[in-house]
A and B are shown apart, each in its own frame.
Chain A
Amino acid sequence: MFDEPNKTNPPFSKGSSKYENPDGVKIGLEVHVQLNKLKTKVFCGCTTDYHNDPPNSHVCPVCLGLPGALPVINKKAVEAAIKVGLALNCKVEEHTQFYRKNYYYPDLPKGFQITQYDFPISSQGYVMIEGEDGEHRIGITRAHMEEDPGRLVHEGTIDKSKYTLIDYNRSGMALLEVVSDPDMRSPKEARRYLDKLRNILEYLDVFDGNLEGALRVDANISIMGGQRAEIKNISSHKGAERALLYEIVRQKNVLRRGGVVVLETRHFDEAREITLSMRSKEEAHDYRYFPEPDLVPLKISGWAPAIKETLPELPDARRMRFVEQYGIADDHAKALTSELKLAVFYEEVAKKADPKMAAVWICDVLKGELNYRDLTIDAFRKEHMLSVIELLASKKITEDGAVDIIRTLLDKGGSPEEIVAQKGLVVVEGDIVSTAAEEAIKENPQAVADYKAGKEKALNSLVGAVMKKTKGRADARAAREVLLGKLG
């Protein structure tokens, strides 16, 4: 567990065997990303900071779709969309245009959604993920802008509620719909793609994935070259993986029974973890797309180069830099850069402490303890991590002691120094270890005899005895050396 990292894998290790994809799974995802870090909505001046406010408190004639109100494009939203496009290696178009997608739904105050159709803001990109057989490329068909509808709220469950309430606070939030090519070959790859996408979005500072409705997924999946099913209403990465796993089994069963998978839209029931066919009536949509006459085509050819300059370091680049700059293992670099906050946390610690040690302790210990408690890195202070590493480096505490400190900090709070004092975690002095070793040798003649007879393992029980006598405050390696010295 505490081995020094010495293997430095190149990023994106190539798998030794090629992934066979036995079921011929093809998955494409449409991900709706709310650009919720913008200050205002996409076509009006209403704030995006509504999550803690009463329903319908951040609305205006524009996002309520009142008669006569007109949309005006939020330039910052276009910039954010271009930023994402560039980060996804997309081609950013010369000009972009908005269209109306016409359909009726109570959450849609205008009876149409302003979205893009021909001339999306960016297209033809890709992202790299850790696939079933190493590095795998997922094509990005397009990433286009649109507006979010309002939110329907039901008293109790949707089936039992006597009425529907509509909150238009969300109406008009800027969305980016990122459409992938059908390049994912397993639900696991789909999940990794979503993780990667979310990670990139957070690096770009356009998106806070923790807010309600921040990321919504529709998945297209086919097997064995058959027709695809579109699964709607997936709201989490885990949900996407589950829905797709279910769907593969369902489609395989259809084929096994001699049936044919039909092209259809299915709804993911998150509670039951199954997909259900939606009525064909609901999917027989003709959206009658046509250019939004109230928004002029936007010439954006000049925007991309300047925005490119402002692009931050992205996860893959940072991962490679961590390996190079800090000499840490690629697995560690990958784990550290998989979440922006974690990467920032690591880098701040690594600047002031041994970077390799920091990587080991953050990835292998702290991350596990956080996951176990369902906490994020926000729950741990970097000053505390620094103290723990300093205490360890100066051999004032043992590794077991360090784990104890981290656990205590997460469960009860305090500071590392206080915990060391309270729990008496300071490594005991050499004299005490020496005395304990002498006692251990005296009290365990059989082990001594075994060791001298060549059974190396017998030494372990002697080390254990020393640790017991010092109540775990001795450094195991030091105890071992002292014992070896005394045994000649």
Chain B
Amino acid sequence: MATINELRERIHAESSEEIVHEYLEKIAESKLNAFITVSGESALARARKIDSEGHEGPLAGIPIAIKDNISTKGIRTTCASKILTGYIPPYDAHVIERLKEAGAIIIGKANMDEFAMGTSTETSFYGATKNPWDIERVPGGSSGGSAAAVAGDDVPLALGSDTGGSVRCPASFCGVVGLKPTYGVISRYGLIAYANSLEQIGPFATSVRDVATLFDVIAGYDARDSTSVKRDVNYSSAMKNDVRGLKIGVPEEYFGEGTDEKVEKAVRDAIHKLEDLGASLKDVKMPHTKYALASYYIIAMSEASSNLARFDGMRYGLRVEDSDWHTTFSQVRAAGFGDEVKRRILLGTYALSAGYHDKYYLKALKVRTLIKQDFERAFKNVDVLITPTMPYPAFRLGEKIGDPLSLYLADVDTVPINLAGVPSISVPCGFSEGLPIGMQIIGKHFDEATILRTAYTFEENTDFHIKQPEGV
């Protein structure tokens, strides 16, 4: 495992080409199935170019994996779905433009749940990704490929996307750091939408500092995304080992039924550690938490049912033998989408239908407002909220995939954050039988600096992040 600073030194001493080559070899030998596409040739070519011409960017010559729902010009982008077979975007997502400007080298496209719909990366058309801590277990999802690749040292950095926990869940299961920024901080231009009103692109790394550096590169206003906001912050400057005076809220609603005892203990221990370091604790009430999952899934599925309507085989992607367009559309979609995607499209279509719209979709929006208010009230008295990221550590491959409802329930601690649009980071805070446990630090809107500082201080004073999976 190497940090950005270590890699920069090595690139300086050796070359970017050598580093990229080394990682490409690791990926080739990896058992994790973390990548759908490896763009080795273009990565090496770019590394050579940076070696010969030099580059002043903060990520110059450093390889990065990109979740396969982020558009990359000239590199196929599949969303882990059969329906996008053969689709090569003619344009770069905003974050990809930013990464290229910063000198980063896109080494490949990371595996994920099909269209980001899942909590285990098992719904990928390209096969499940495996957890580097135990290859019998899931890496979490939906950005499982990104998290596993970083945890398994297939790559030092990765981007994921987080609609209801899809960065934080795999960060927690794989023992790495993952950030879900405030809604609007990172342009979604080029991110293939699952649920537009909820999702953000987020960085993965093995340390808080590297997450902050990557975040600095990809954050910022983009006129092509109407929900993008203008903010000028340097997140790397938040790297201060100091939580004195920090007010931490601990919402008991997040430690409820279904939370693994060891997870609860690890998170409470972590909170006390921060208290020892000078923070103070406060009880906060978040009474609408129990409605978050229902609200989240209705909104996400409703938006998804519309977002995924464009995949009809007419202009790109999977094509079936031509018939009249009605038949062709349904055949393409029947053949191209996996079961979980079909399930969510159907449920979302239902929730938006005449006669059900008010009962489900509108009600879900009202609940969303109540949940937002829960956060607003809580943040009047505290600076951050701390909860478990996931109620339990990584489960076994195949354990839950046949039971969609229990998989949905796994998102209980992460979805309220997306409904409220606030930022949240998952950092390693313990282990349970050799499997990592993640702690979730939630901040006020646009106050990533405080959660990054809290996470950094915790990291500086503990060593959970140093432990690596065996055989890596």
| A binding-site residues for B, Cβ under 8 Å | 61, 64-73, 100, 102, 104, 106, 109-112, 164, 166, 286, 288, 290, 293-296
Complex formed: what's the CA distance from A112 to B361 in Å? Answer: 18
Which residues of the other chain, B, contact A164 by a CB distance below 8 angstroms? 325
Q: Does B236 contact A (CB under 8 A)?
A: no
Interface string of B321-356 (1 = CB under 8 A from A): 000011001000000000000000000010011100
Chain B contacts with A in 148-192, Cβ cutoff 8 A: 188-192
Interchain CB contact (< 8 A) of B315 among A100, A109, A288: A109
Interchain CB contact (< 8 A) of B306 among A61, A68, A102, A109: A102
Chain B contacts with A in 205-252, Cβ cutoff 8 A: 223-227
Complex formed: what's the CA distance from A397 to B306 in Å? Answer: 71
Known: A66-B316, A104-B329, A110-B309. A290 touches B302 (CB 8 A): yes
Chain B contacts with A in 45-98, Cβ cutoff 8 A: 69-71, 77, 79, 84, 87, 89-91, 93
28 contacts between A and B (CB under 8 A): A61-B90, A66-B89, A66-B90, A67-B71, A67-B77, A68-B70, A68-B71, A68-B89, A70-B188, A70-B225, A100-B306, A102-B306, A102-B352, A104-B329, A106-B314, A106-B325, A109-B310, A109-B314, A110-B309, A111-B309, A111-B310, A288-B305, A288-B349, A288-B353, A290-B302, A293-B196, A293-B303, A294-B225
Complex formed: what's the CA distance from A294 to B197 in Å? Answer: 7
Q: Does B193 contact A (CB under 8 A)?
A: yes
Which residues of the other chain, A, contact B225 by a CB distance below 8 angstroms? 70, 72, 294
A106: nearest chain-B partner, CB-CB: B325
Complex formed: what's the CA distance from A482 to B374 in Å? Answer: 102
B70: nearest chain-A partner, CB-CB: A68
Which residue, of B84, B306, B325, has the highest number of chain A Cβ atoms within 10 A?
B306
Q: Does B357 contact A (CB under 8 A)?
A: yes
Beta-carbon contact of B309 and A102 below 8 Å? yes
Chain B contacts with A in 377-402, Cβ cutoff 8 A: none
Complex formed: what's the CA distance from A100 to B349 in Å? Answer: 13
Complex formed: what's the CA distance from A68 to B305 in Å? Answer: 15
Interchain CB contact (< 8 A) of B91 among A61, A72, A104, A106: A61
B307 to chain A, nearest CB (A): 9
Beta-carbon contact of A110 and B310 below 8 Å? yes
Complex formed: what's the CA distance from A72 to B226 in Å? Answer: 6
Which residue, of B196, B305, B315, has the highest number of chain A Cβ atoms within 10 A?
B315
Known: A102-B352, A106-B325, A286-B354. A295 touches B306 (CB 8 A): no
User: What number of A-B contacts does a CB cutoff of 8 Å give?
Assistant: 103
Interchain CB contact (< 8 A) of A104 among B70, B191, B303, B312: B312
Beta-carbon contact of B314 and A166 below 8 Å? yes
A275 to chain B, nearest CB (A): 24
A382 to chain B, nearest CB (A): 45
Beta-carbon contact of B357 and A294 below 8 Å? no
Which residues of the other chain, B, contact A61 by a CB distance below 8 angstroms? 89-91
A233 to chain B, nearest CB (A): 18
Which residues of the other chain, B, contact A65 by a CB distance below 8 angstroms? 310, 315
A237 to chain B, nearest CB (A): 32
B164 to chain A, nearest CB (A): 15
Beta-carbon contact of A69 and B189 below 8 Å? yes
Interchain CB contact (< 8 A) of A68 among B189, B312, B349, B354: B189
Complex formed: what's the CA distance from A267 to B411 in Å? Answer: 49
Beta-carbon contact of A294 and B309 below 8 Å? no
Complex formed: what's the CA distance from A66 to B192 in Å? Answer: 9
**Total interface residues on B, using CB and 8 Å?**
46
Known: A166-B314, A288-B349. A296 touches B306 (CB 8 A): no
B227: nearest chain-A partner, CB-CB: A296
Complex formed: what's the CA distance from A69 to B226 in Å? Answer: 11
Beta-carbon contact of B309 and A104 below 8 Å? yes
B327 to chain A, nearest CB (A): 12
A102: nearest chain-B partner, CB-CB: B306
Beta-carbon contact of B196 and A294 below 8 Å? yes
Known: A67-B77, A70-B189, A109-B315. 5 other contacts (CB 8 A): A67-B71, A109-B314, A110-B309, A111-B306, A293-B197
Complex formed: what's the CA distance from A440 to B354 in Å? Answer: 88
B384 to chain A, nearest CB (A): 27
B353: nearest chain-A partner, CB-CB: A286
Beta-carbon contact of B227 and A67 below 8 Å? no
B362: nearest chain-A partner, CB-CB: A290
Which residues of the other chain, A, contact B70 by a CB distance below 8 angstroms? 68
Beta-carbon contact of A295 and B226 below 8 Å? yes
Complex formed: what's the CA distance from A69 to B315 in Å? Answer: 15
Which residues of the other chain, A, contact B69 by a CB distance below 8 angstroms? 68
Complex formed: what's the CA distance from A72 to B312 in Å? Answer: 24
Complex formed: what's the CA distance from A102 to B353 in Å? Answer: 10
Beta-carbon contact of A68 and B303 below 8 Å? no
Which residues of the other chain, A, contact B90 by a CB distance below 8 angstroms? 61, 66
- Shortest Cβ-Cβ A-B pairs, 8 listed: A111-B309, A288-B352, A293-B196, A293-B197, A67-B192, A68-B190, A68-B71, A68-B192
Complex formed: what's the CA distance from A360 to B99 in Å? Answer: 71
A60: nearest chain-B partner, CB-CB: B91
Known: A111-B309, A286-B354. A64 touches B192 (CB 8 A): no
Beta-carbon contact of B188 and A290 below 8 Å? no
Which residues of the other chain, B, contact A110 by a CB distance below 8 angstroms? 309-310
B316: nearest chain-A partner, CB-CB: A66
Complex formed: what's the CA distance from A290 to B310 in Å? Answer: 16
B394 to chain A, nearest CB (A): 29
Beta-carbon contact of A70 and B306 below 8 Å? no
Beta-carbon contact of A294 and B91 below 8 Å? no
B183 to chain A, nearest CB (A): 11
Which residues of the other chain, B, contact A73 by a CB distance below 8 angstroms? 226
Beta-carbon contact of A67 and B226 below 8 Å? no
Which residues of the other chain, B, contact A286 by a CB distance below 8 angstroms? 353-354
Complex formed: what's the CA distance from A100 to B314 in Å? Answer: 20
Which residues of the other chain, A, contact B192 by a CB distance below 8 angstroms? 67-68
Complex formed: what's the CA distance from A67 to B316 in Å? Answer: 10
Complex formed: what's the CA distance from A264 to B91 in Å? Answer: 44
A67: nearest chain-B partner, CB-CB: B192
Which residues of the other chain, B, contact A293 by a CB distance below 8 angstroms? 195-197, 227, 303
B324 to chain A, nearest CB (A): 10
A292: nearest chain-B partner, CB-CB: B196
Which residue, of B188, B226, B303, has the highest number of chain A Cβ atoms within 10 A?
B226
Known: A68-B89, A72-B223. A112 touches B77 (CB 8 A): no
Complex formed: what's the CA distance from A34 to B224 in Å? Answer: 24
Complex formed: what's the CA distance from A166 to B70 in Å? Answer: 27
B161 to chain A, nearest CB (A): 11
Interface string of B263-307 (1 = CB under 8 A from A): 000000000000000000000000000000000000000110110
A294: nearest chain-B partner, CB-CB: B196
Which residues of the other chain, B, contact A68 by a CB distance below 8 angstroms? 69-71, 89, 93, 188-193
Complex formed: what's the CA distance from A286 to B302 in Å? Answer: 14
A324 to chain B, nearest CB (A): 48
Which residues of the other chain, B, contact A106 by a CB distance below 8 angstroms? 312, 314, 325
Complex formed: what's the CA distance from A69 to B191 in Å? Answer: 8
Complex formed: what's the CA distance from A100 to B357 in Å? Answer: 14
Which residues of the other chain, B, contact A294 by a CB distance below 8 angstroms? 188, 193, 196, 225-227
A166: nearest chain-B partner, CB-CB: B314
Which residues of the other chain, A, contact B308 by a CB distance below 8 angstroms? 111
Complex formed: what's the CA distance from A293 to B316 in Å? Answer: 24
Complex formed: what's the CA distance from A73 to B226 in Å? Answer: 8
Beta-carbon contact of B79 and A67 below 8 Å? yes
B366 to chain A, nearest CB (A): 14
B305 to chain A, nearest CB (A): 8
Which residues of the other chain, A, contact B197 by a CB distance below 8 angstroms? 293
Which residues of the other chain, B, contact A100 by a CB distance below 8 angstroms? 306
A151 to chain B, nearest CB (A): 14
Complex formed: what's the CA distance from A70 to B191 in Å? Answer: 9
Which residues of the other chain, A, contact B226 by a CB distance below 8 angstroms? 70-73, 294-296
